[in-house]
Chain A
C-alpha cells in the first residue's frame, strides 16, 4: 500500500525486532507446521483427476465470488460513505455481521432464506414463480458473497473515509469530477487488495462449499485436505495439497501486486466526510436497503430458528461461552500485537507474514502443531492455547489489512513533522501512531475476536475431557439429534460474536462522528 513506514522504524528500533519476531512466529505456524506434517509423513507426490478438478473448481468459484463481492460492495460503500442517517453506525456494524458469522451458523440462516422452504421461495410462490434451488455452484458463490460482501464493504468504506473531506470540498468548489479524480484512484488502490483477500478466503473455504455445493462437482482443495487428514490419515497427501493452496495464494498475491496502484491522496484534517455533489440520494437509499435485506434476512432466520431453542439451553452453555470468550480475547491480544508489529516493520518479510495465514489450512496447522508439541506437552493441556494461537494466526491477515493502510497514511501525513520533532521509537508509537490507528485497531480487534469465537479450529485433535467451546457444543448437540437446541446455541453464538465485535469496534470509534 505505497509508502512503507519511514526510516524512523528501521535500524535498531525496538519495533523492528518485534516485527521480526511476529513474522517468525507466523512463518513457523504456517510453513513450519506444514513442514512438520511433511516431515512426519513425507510428501506423497502426484495428484489424481479428482484433485485437479477440485483445484479448478476452487479457483474459479473463488475468483467469481471475490469479483462479485467487490463489485457489489462499491455502490454500498459509496452510499454509506456519503450519507448520514439515524442508525447508520448500528447498520454498519450489523452489515458486518455475516463476515464474522460461524459457517455452521450461517448455513442455517442461508437455508432459511434461500432453501426449498425458505422465505425467498415462499415469496416466489406467492407471485406464481417456481421454486429456485440454492444447491449447486451458485449456492457456493451466493454463500461466499454473503460472507464476504461485508468485508469488501468495510475495506472499501475505509478507503472512502480515507479521502480527506477537504478534497471533496475542494472538488465541489471547483466543479471537478469527484469520481475520476478522487474515487477512482482510491478504488484502484483499495479494490485489488479487497479482491485478493476475498479470493483467498474463498480459496480455503470448506464447509460452505460442501453443504450448499450440491455434490462432488463443488469440491474444494480444503475439503481434499480434510479428507486426507481426518479420513484417510494420509498426511503426505495433505502436505502436497497444502502446498498447492500456498501456490495458488502466491499466484494471487503476485497478480494483485501487479494490479495495485499507490495511494497518493495526501493528508487531511479528519473532518467528517461531507459531500457536495447533488442528487443520488434515492439511489443510495435503495442500494443500502437492498444490501441490508440480503445480509440481514439470513440473520433474522437464525434468530427465528434459534428462538425456540433458547427455552431449552444445555447446562454446559455458559462454561462453553466463557471458554470461547477467553480464547477469543487471547487470540485478539496476540493478533493485535502481531499485526501492529508487522505493520510497523513493513518490508517483504512482513508482507509475506500477513498473507501466508490466508492460504494456510487450519487443519494442517493443527496437525503440525500436534507433531511439534506432542513430545513436549500433553495435547489436552494445550488445547485452548493452541486453539487461540491458530485463531490468532488465521485472523492476522484481516487485522493487518486494516492497520497497514492507516499506518502508511499516518506516516505519510505526519511522519516528517513527527521526525522533525524528534518523535521516534516508542514515543512515536505512543503519541502519533496509536492515536491515529485507534479506529482501525478497534475494528481489527472486533474482527479477530468474532472470528475466533466461531472457529472450531483444531479442537478435534487436541480436545481434552469435554472442555467444549460454543461451536463444539453446537456440533455435539447436532450429532445427538438435538437440532433445536443446537439452533438455540447458534443464536447465542451469533449474539456473543456480534457483541464482542461491537464492543471493540465501538471502542475504536468512540470519538468519531459516525
Chain B
C-alpha cells in the first residue's frame, strides 16, 4: 500500500526528462542566483548563444550538497560560493584551476587565487532611510556609541554569510575590544535574524532604522523602484567585502565546456548582467562601464577583507565574542 502510494507520487511528480542535446553544462547555483529574479536566466541565455549547448542549473545549498555528493557529483561548474566558504570548499579537492587571467578583475583588492574566480562583490554596510534617520553614524565606532533608541537589525553569524562577515568586520576594526563593543551595541540591535531577507524585510516594514546589508542595496531601490530614500552609511574604518565566486569541477565530463564557462564569467557579456540582476558590483568591469545608479553609489574609501586562512582562524573567536558580548 505504502509502496504503491510512494511510487504513484514519484510517477506523477517526477521531473520531465531534459531535452536531449549534444552538450550539457550542469551548473550548481544557490537558489536566489538561478531564480527568475536573479542573474541566472539571462546568463543561461547568453552562454547558450555562444556555446551551442544547454546550460542546466541545479539550485540549492552549494557546498553542503557538493560535500555530500563528493566525486560522484554531476556538477561541471559551481557558481555562488561566498568568500567565507572557500577554505572548506578548497579542502574537498573537488575543484580544478579556473584557468582565467585574473588581470581582468577590477576588485579593490588583489586576487590571485587559481581555483576560485570572483564574479561579483559588494561591501557590507548598514542601510537606512535617508529621509527618516537624522544622525547617521560616520564610522563603526560612532554606530556603537549611537543613542540606544537607534534600532538595528543584523543577521546571525552562525547561520548567514553576511552575519559572519559582520563579526569578522568588527573583529578587524575593534580587535580585542570587539566583545565589549558588542555589549555596547546590543541595546540598539532590535533583533538578529537567521538570514539577510528576514532582516531586510524588517527594514522595509519600518521596524528598524538600519539593517545590515550592502552598499549596493540602495541601487535596487533607485533603479527598480525609482526610490532614492535608501542609503548606505559609509564608515571611516573601511568596509568588509563580500565576494562571490565560481569554480569548475575536476570531475567534469566536458572540461572544454566548463572552461568556456569560466572564461565567460569574466567577459563583459556576463559582467554587464550582474549589477541590475544580482544587485552587486561586477568583478571584472571598469567602473566607467557600470550602469547608471551604480556609478553614483556612495563608496567606502577602504576595503577590508581577510584571506581565507586568517578568516578561518578568526571565525570561532569572532562569533564567540559576538555571542558573549550580545548576551551580557
Interface residues of A (CB under 8 A from B): 18, 21-22, 25, 40, 50, 53, 107-108, 111, 115-117, 133, 135, 206-207, 210-217, 223-224, 226-227, 229-231, 233, 305, 314-316, 323, 326-327, 330, 333-334, 337-338, 367, 370-371, 374, 378-385, 388-389, 459-468, 472, 475-483, 486
Contacts and interface: CB of A to CB of B under 8 A. Distances in A.
A25 B206 CA distance: 47
A461 B65 contact: yes
Interface string B62-77: 0111011100101000
A210 B202 CA distance: 13
A210 B156 contact: yes
Nearest to B196: A479
B159 A463 contact: no
A467 B64 contact: no
B36 A215 contact: no
Given A378-B74, A463-B59, A475 B31 contact: yes
Contacts of B221: 481
B110 to A, nearest CB: 28
Nearest to B204: A483
Residue of A217, A231, A326, A478 with most chain B CB atoms under a 10 A cut-off? A231
B13 A216 contact: no
Contacts of B9: 330, 384-385, 388
B68 A210 contact: no
A476 B61 contact: no
A50 B191 contact: no
Nearest to A48: B320
B108 interface: no
B220 interface: yes
Contacts of B32: 476, 479-480
A476 B57 CA distance: 15
Contact of B189 (A215, A338, A472): A215
Contact of A374 (B69, B159, B207): B69
Contacts of B194: 206-207, 210-211, 223, 226
A350 to B, nearest CB: 15
A430 to B, nearest CB: 16
A18 B64 contact: no
Contacts of B196: 479
Contacts of A206: 194
B250 interface: no
Contacts of B13: 323, 326-327, 330, 384-385, 388
Nearest to B38: A480
Contacts of A388: 9, 13
A22 B2 contact: yes
B191 A135 contact: yes
Given A211-B194, A463-B31, A477-B37, A233 B57 contact: no
Given A334-B2, A384-B9, 8 more contacts: A214-B189, A223-B158, A316-B36, A367-B68, A370-B65, A465-B59, A467-B15, A481-B279
A381 B206 contact: no
Nearest to A486: B201
B200 A476 contact: no
A112 to B, nearest CB: 8
Contacts of B279: 481
Interface residues of B, number: 66
B327 A216 contact: yes
B57 A50 contact: no
Contacts, number: 190
Contact of A476 (B1, B37, B207): B37
B272 interface: no
B113 interface: no
A383 B15 CA distance: 9
Nearest to B30: A479
Contacts of A462: 60
B102 interface: no
B35 A111 contact: no
Nearest to B84: A231
6 contacts: A115-B207, A116-B206, A227-B158, A367-B68, A385-B13, A481-B221
A211 B154 CA distance: 10
Contacts of B198: 107, 210-211, 478
B37 A482 contact: yes
Contacts of B200: 478, 481, 483
Nearest to B155: A210
B279 to A, nearest CB: 7
Residue of B9, B36, B198 with most chain A CB atoms under a 10 A cut-off? B9
B145 to A, nearest CB: 19
Contacts of B58: 380, 463-465
B130 interface: no
Contact of B192 (A115, A216, A227, A233): A216
Residue of B61, B200, B204 with most chain A CB atoms under a 10 A cut-off? B61
A107 B198 CA distance: 9
